Structure formats: structure tokens, C-alpha cells
Amino acid sequence: MDAIQYISKRLLLMIPILFGISVLTFFISHTIPGDPARLILGPKADPVIIKELQEKMGLNDPVYVQYGRYVSGILQGDLGNSTYTQQAVVNDLKRYFPATLELTLFSMIITVLVGIPFGIISANKKDKIPDQITRFAALIGVAMPAFWLGIILLLFFYLQLGVLPGAGRLDTWVSPPAHITGMYTIDALLTGNWPVFQSAFIHLILPGITQAAVTIGMITRMTRSSMLEVLRSDYVRTAYAKGGSQNRVLYGHALQNGMMPILTLIGMTFGHSLGGSVLVESVFSWPGLGKYAVNAITYLDFPAVMGVTLLIAVLFIFVNLIIDIFYQVIDPRLKYE
């Protein structure tokens, strides 16, 4: 099987999964007690008007009719209207998701660039001082609550030193760049707008580090254990026997072989952060998916809840697909099975 066939097969396999997810979320959100119509109109509303709105929203139809309506809407790119923001859910997602995606990408880049080298050093210097320090730091990263670290960073870099901004995605006097991807740093680069890029970038730093702290800890530990395994193997000895330097052996032979579990973990954490980190987004007033989702749940905004869930599910599947393709590229033994 070649690459294109493999990918199309994987994409086809997504359809039943998505169907399952839509059924699941639809029914879960409909078994939660609470009446959206009453919620929109407030506690003092006239029962007649409530009844009318319930009728209009189709809340009295049988559940399968409501589901059928929902699915046919999805297929037309319509996720319904949010009962809370009064906007089309699709538009809401387009607005909030890029902010989360940008933050997640940024924190994942930090995670990979810091976590993997530290894990390698830690494994290579097993039980020596660099290993002890790295393991201790990783433990702190994993154990520390993200919001707490966020607040500490805010106190220090924003309030105390005043070198980094504390909230939002842009300085107030800067207007967002033209909407291309919705990620401000990337759109600013694409339109060549340097001042906006700068502003967007420095706003990413503190929330990015806060979100990365936990994942760095996890990736470091995973890299360490995976590399310890690989460094014992015979082909690593062969690489040294050929005259390879330590860096060449570590990064040219060992890392690639130890990459599988690391990639899996990266995929998991990436998919996870794409759902939005409510705590980090709250601390830094980051207008992302996490905050949107919490609002939707708080106000029993069914269409929004289902929209967010569906989006996260699709993203998770996509990330997994990409990780699987990475496996195939790295490991010739797997060649599109």
C-alpha cells in the first residue's frame, strides 16, 4: 500500500467514529436536566412565551428528529446557533479556536525544543548530576498546578518587572491583522506586519510557558525512559564502534529509535491542549476555546457544547492520524500496514 491509499483509508475510517461521537454528545447533552428556552428568557418569563420558544427551537420534537436535524445541519456546515452568544456556533468556533490553536502550537514547540533535549541529556548522564537536576525539574513541572505557575509568572514579569504583557492576545492599541488563519502571529507574518507580530508574540510568551511547564515535564520523563532503553541496544554500540561522536550517536541513531513513545505522548498532549486549557486561558484572559466551552456548559448552550465536542474529537483523530503517518515515515518496518 502506498502513502495516499493509506491516508485515504484512515480518513474513511474517521466517518463511523465521527458518527459515534455525534450520537454520544447529542444524547449526553440532552439528558442533562435544564431547559434552554427557560434559560434564555430568564426566571420571570411568561410560561406561554417559554412554550412558544420551546416550540420554535424544536425542543418538543422527538429526540431522533432533533438529532436528524442536527446531523443534516452539520453536513451543511451548520452547527446551529449558540443560545448564549446568539451567533452561529461555526462562527464562534472560527473566532475562538485559532487563539487556542496558536497558544497550543507555541507551547508544543517550547515543549519539544526543551523537553526532548533534556530527556536525552538526562538519559545519557543517568544518575549523574545533570540527570538529578533534570528529573527534579521535570517532577516540579508535572506536579505544579498550571494556574499557580501562571499567577506567579504574572506577578513577576507583568506586575513586578513590567516586561511582558499580562492579558489578551494583542496590545490594546494594536488592531488584529487581516484574518487568514486567525492566528495573529502567523497572519501578521503573512501580511508582513512586523509591529503586530511583535505584539502578538510577546503576548504568547507567558501563557505559552505556563501551558508548556506541565508537558515539558511529561515529555522529559518519557524521553528519558525511552532513551535509556535505546542506549542499551547493540546498534548504539555499533554506532560508537564506527567512530561516531556522542552527539551523532544520540541524535542520529538513538533519538529516532526512541521516538515512538515520545511521539505518542506529544500527540496526546497536543490533542488535549487543543481542547483549550481553561485555567491558563482564564489566568491570562486568553479568548480561546476553553473559556468558550466553559461558558457553553454553564449556560446549557447545547449547540455550542456539541460543536466544541465535535471539533475536539475531529482534531484528536487528525492529530492521531498525523502521528501515525510520522511512525510510518520514521520506521521502515511499518510501511503502511
Partner 1 sequence: MLLNVENLSLSLKKDGSYLKILDDVSFQVEKGETLGIVGESGCGKSMTALSIMRLLPDKAKLEGKVNLEKKEITALSKKQLEKIRGNQISMIFQDPLTSLNPLHSVGKQIGEALYLHTELSKIERKQRVVHLLKEVGLPRADEIVNEYPHQLSGGMRQRVMIAIAMACNPRLLICDEPTTALDVTVQAQILDLMNKLKQMNDMGIIMITHDLGVVAEVCDRVIVMYAGKVVEQGMAEELFANPKHPYTIGLMQSIPKLGERKNQLGSIPGTVPSPKNMPLGCRFADRCNKAMDICRGKQPSTVEVGPNHTAACWLYEEKGVGRYDASRGERSEATFHH
Residues at the contact surface with partner 1, assessed by CB under 8 A = 233-235, 237-246, 253, 256-257, 330-333
C-alpha cell at 225: 525512559
Q: Is 222 helix (H, G, I), strand (E, B) or coil?
A: helix
Task: Give me 306's grid cell.
Answer: 456539541
Handedness of CA 176, 193, 205, 173 (dihedral sign): negative
Whether residue 304 contacts residue 90, with contact meaning beta carbons closer than 8 Å, is answered with no
Of 304, 291, 279, 286, nearest to 39 (Cα)? 304
Q: Residue 10, by phi and psi: left (phi above 0), alpha (psi -120 to 50) or beta?
A: alpha
To partner 1, the closest distance from the beta carbon of 318 in angstroms equals: 25
**How many CB atoms within 10 Å of residue 265?**
20
CB of 140 to partner 1, least distance (A): 27
Cβ proximity to partner 1, 72 vs 245, nearer residue: 245
Shortest Å distance, C-beta 227 to partner 1: 15
Q: How far is the CB of 236 from partner 1 (least distance, A)?
A: 8
Residue the block writes with cell 446551529: 80
Nearer to partner 1, 61 or 131 (CB): 131
Q: How far is the CB of 238 from partner 1 (least distance, A)?
A: 5
DSSP helix/strand/coil, 81? strand
What secondary structure does DSSP assign to 7-19, as a single string? HHHHHHHHHHHHH
Q: Tell me the closest approach of the beta carbon of residue 245 to partner 1, in angstroms.
A: 6
Q: Which is nearer to partner 1, 179 or 242 (CB)?
A: 242
Closest CB 248 distance from partner 1, rounded Å: 8
Q: Which is nearer to partner 1, 75 or 241 (CB)?
A: 241
CA 70: distance to chain centroid? Answer: 25
- Give the Å distances, CA to CA, from 321 to 35, 108, 297, 328: 38, 18, 29, 11
Of residues 128 and 179, the one with the C-beta less far from partner 1: 128
Answer whether 236's CB lies under 8 Å from 254's CB.
yes
Report the residue number, 162 or 332, with the smaller CB distance to partner 1.
Answer: 332
Grid cell for residue 195: 509591529
Closest CA to 238 of 255, 258, 253, 256: 253
The C-alpha atoms of residue 18 and residue 321 are separated, in whole angstroms, by 14
Nearer to partner 1 by Cβ, of 67 and 240: the residue is 240
For partner 1, the closer of residues 87 and 257 by Cβ is 257
Q: How far apart are CB 223 and partner 1 at their closest, in Å?
A: 17
Distance in Å, CB of 214 to partner 1, minimum: 30
Whichever of 249 and 304 has its CB closer to partner 1, that residue is 249
Q: For residues 249 and 236, is the Cβ–Cβ distance under 8 A?
A: yes
CA separation for the pair 265, 218 (Å, rounded): 8
